[in-house]
Structure 1
Amino acid sequence: MPLSDTKIRVLKPRDRKYIEVDEKGLAIGVTPTGAKRWVFRFRLHGKRPEMALGLYPDVPLKRARELRDEARKYVAEGIDPRDVERARKESALEANRNSFAAVAEEWFAAKMAHLSKSSRDRAHLALSRDLNPYLGKRPISEVTPPEVLRCLRRIESRGTQGTAHRVKQIASQVFRFAVAIGKADRDPTTDLSGALTPAKKKHLAAITDPAEVGRLMAALESYQGTAVVKAALKLSPLLFCRTGELRKLEWSEIN
């Protein structure tokens, strides 16, 4: 007699594993621990192998029968359904290794390790907040320009146009890395030129009045802080270099 959910639920464990048969090769095994496992028994090439179909109730009776029917079709064609299942799992693993998130992680480790903490933090935030939640599980070779654009539009909707442009640059670096290691054919962000709202340029404050420059120089001269900072302030308008370059200045660089 075919099984029913009621009958399956009341199956009790015994000292040894036992089998209850459904129909068309489907059966459920009950272990001494009480676990209930679906199996599909079939005949192929003179052998009688079994194919595991999952645990009950994770796989309910209706789904187990669907899996059995699918497997029976392969058997009818002389194909071992276990080989089909193994190929599917391998394909899924390969897709996961080639996902956007996996390639982005590989890119981050290869290209960002030597950069400053602030640069690494910005890249990590762009990936974890703006890209991976929407593209992470997609095979990187299949990501399309409209998919990337939707990610960038979400950033723009927050009123952060500059961030959208920076995230686009990071995405482009990930895609170009994927091309270099043979996991993608092209960078889809190249098709998004002009698609984003131009970022508003913000000019840094600057003194342009000669009289104000004179007052600044006088203020630097009268600075009462430490000797190192005072020397740095006096050198700055003479060398016109960045503060980081000034801090790391060496005597060998002075004429």
Structure 2
Amino acid sequence: MAAVKLSDVKIKTLKPKDKVYRILDADRLYIEIRPTGAKVWRFKFVFQGKESSMSLGEYPSISLADARALKDEMRAKLAKGIHPVEDRKNIKAQALAETLNTFDSIAEEFKLKRMSTKSEIYQGKFDVALTKDISPIIGKKNVSDVTAADVLKILNNTVDRVVKESNGRFTGASAALENRRFLGAVIRYAIATLRAENDPTYAVRDVIKRPRVNHARALTKEERYKARTSLPKYNGTQTVKNAGFILLYTMLRAIEIRKMQWHWIDFENRLIRFPEEAMKKDRIHVLPISDQVFNVLKQQYEISGDQVLVFPAIYSKKNEGMLAKETLNSMLEYIGLKGVTTHDFRATASTLLYEKGYEEAWVEKQLAHAESNRTKASYDHSKHLKPRRKMMQDWADIVDSWKDQQNVQPN
């Protein structure tokens, strides 16, 4: 190896040859000129009696001054009994671990491994929470370094965002609480996989108060009359109008109507069989089809029978998306039922059917209220089917009778 005190001018004059050659600078620092023309700094050293060498980078990205400084740094490590190559590997591994252990990377892993059985809607909420509220604050932070102060900032920002986006119609408390649940789930997964030790969401569990729940109520006589007489005049899409009639006639939840698929419907036996994944509490639900529901579904089949969903969103790509969760409530407001929600129709059916003496078991089964005994519930989704079929036909007839209540007085 040639020994020459190097300079930038000298290095620039070094030309490649057929074979690798090296020019020594000082203190075992040298530059290696390769046939490709690359000029690479290397440092030769002895550690515990064994000679080794290491790369310090390529010239001119690493200048002569940089190379000499790096050489001095490596010599200092050797003086402390530190192997410079192993130390560099450890630093790289730690940097990689830092990258792999960011909150965003753990959240992505959590979604893949723990949320695969969740609905697309739930996973979508998780993605929105990350994108809008969580990742901008802690996405690039090591999950083990997330603090209660970080969580509090996320919750407060969530509240502010929702209030602003809704023009004050919503408090943001529900979204903040959901974000805290998502945060906690990801961090507890990190704890379970030995990448974090503490859950900072616990310390702020009482900061955001759960909003008061507005429980469903039965409609007044006036509201019932308006519902049945105004819905046929709704000038929105026929799909939304038909979904509205299903809401009135079936006692289904809005989400169950929005999720309804054609292959669940048995026109021949006049039944709709909702699978476990479509129902609250993951319970199979069987709905007898009344004459009114049969006619609505036959009409809707002409509109969307070639698609998966019975009531697809008209403006979604290929009409494959569900109706938006606000659609039915917006329709109710449009026809003059301001303050009435989709859930109020279930409360109305429950109240009126109990008043007319129908068996509690039939009503509860048709409302798809979950059986506390899961094993029992898995077998009795078709229980009381015959009387329930009659009850659902009676209920549809009752709904139709609302339009004949002229000059009705409020309750």
TM range (shorter): 0.7 to 0.9
Q: Which amino acid counterpart does residue 235 of structure 1 have in structure 2?
A: Y
- Say if 1:28 and 1:36, in contact at 8 Å, map to a contact too: yes
User: How big is the shift at 1:202?
Assistant: 9.2
Please report the TM-score for the alignment, with normalisation by the length of structure 1: 0.78
* 1:82 matched residue in structure 2: 85
1:131 paired with 2:134, answer: yes
Q: How does 1:213-224 map to 2 (within 5 A)?
A: 213-218=224-229
* 1:48 matched residue in structure 2: 51
- Say if 1:13 and 1:30, in contact at 8 Å, map to a contact too: yes
Q: Which amino acid counterpart does residue 196 of structure 2 have in structure 1?
A: A
* 1:235 matched residue in structure 2: 249
Summarize deviations over 1:156-199 as a string: whole Å, max 9, x none: 45436354443332111111211222221221112223545x68
* 1:59 matched residue in structure 2: 62
- Say if 1:100 and 1:136, in contact at 8 Å, map to a contact too: yes
Moved more, 92-101 or 159-168: 159-168
Q: How does 1:63-142 map to 2 (within 5 A)?
A: 63-142=66-145
* Paired-residue identity, %: 32
Q: Which amino acid counterpart does residue 53 of structure 1 have in structure 2?
A: L
Summarize deviations over 1:88-147 as a string: whole Å, max 9, x none: 222223333333222111111122222222322221233244333442333212221223
Three-state SS of the structure 2 residue aligned to 1:37 is: strand
Moved more, 241-250 or 66-75: 241-250
User: How big is the shift at 1:45?
Assistant: 3.1
* 1:177 matched residue in structure 2: 189
CA distance in structure 2 between the aligned counterparts of 1:65 and 1:39, rounded to whole angstroms? 10
CA distance in structure 1 between the aligned counterparts of 2:159 and 2:62, rounded to whole angstroms? 43
Moved more, 128-137 or 213-222: 213-222
* 1:210 matched residue in structure 2: 221
1:26 paired with 2:29, answer: yes
Gaps of 5+ in 1: none
Q: Which amino acid counterpart does residue 105 of structure 1 have in structure 2?
A: E
- Say if 1:220 and 1:234, in contact at 8 Å, map to a contact too: no
CA distance in structure 1 between the aligned counterparts of 2:217 and 2:7, rounded to whole angstroms? 81
CA distance in structure 2 between the aligned counterparts of 1:233 and 1:157, rounded to whole angstroms? 34
* 2:200 matched residue in structure 1: 188
Please report the TM-score for the alignment, with normalisation by the length of structure 2: 0.52
Moved more, 206-215 or 11-20: 206-215
Give RMSD over aligned pairs: 3.4
CA distance in structure 2 between the aligned counterparts of 1:138 and 1:70, rounded to whole angstroms? 29
Three-state SS of the structure 2 residue aligned to 1:13 is: coil
**Cα separation, partners in 2 of 1:63 and 1:200, compared to 1, 3 Å:** farther
Three-state SS of the structure 2 residue aligned to 1:21 is: strand
Query: Paired residues, what number?
Result: 249
CA distance in structure 2 between the aligned counterparts of 1:129 and 1:22, rounded to whole angstroms? 54
CA distance in structure 1 between the aligned counterparts of 2:256 and 2:82, rounded to whole angstroms? 69
Structure with the greater alpha carbon radius of gyration: 2
User: How big is the shift at 1:208?
Assistant: 4.5
**Cα separation, partners in 2 of 1:244 and 1:137, compared to 1, 3 Å:** closer
Moved more, 149-158 or 52-61: 149-158
**Cα separation, partners in 2 of 1:207 and 1:178, compared to 1, 3 Å:** same
**Cα separation, partners in 2 of 1:193 and 1:234, compared to 1, 3 Å:** closer
- Say if 1:221 and 1:234, in contact at 8 Å, map to a contact too: no
Q: Which amino acid counterpart does residue 26 of structure 2 have in structure 1?
A: E
Three-state SS of the structure 1 residue aligned to 2:22 is: strand
- Say if 1:95 and 1:139, in contact at 8 Å, map to a contact too: yes
- Say if 2:42 and 2:56, in contact at 8 Å, map to a contact too: yes
**Cα separation, partners in 2 of 1:130 and 1:60, compared to 1, 3 Å:** farther
CA distance in structure 2 between the aligned counterparts of 1:131 and 1:7, rounded to whole angstroms? 54
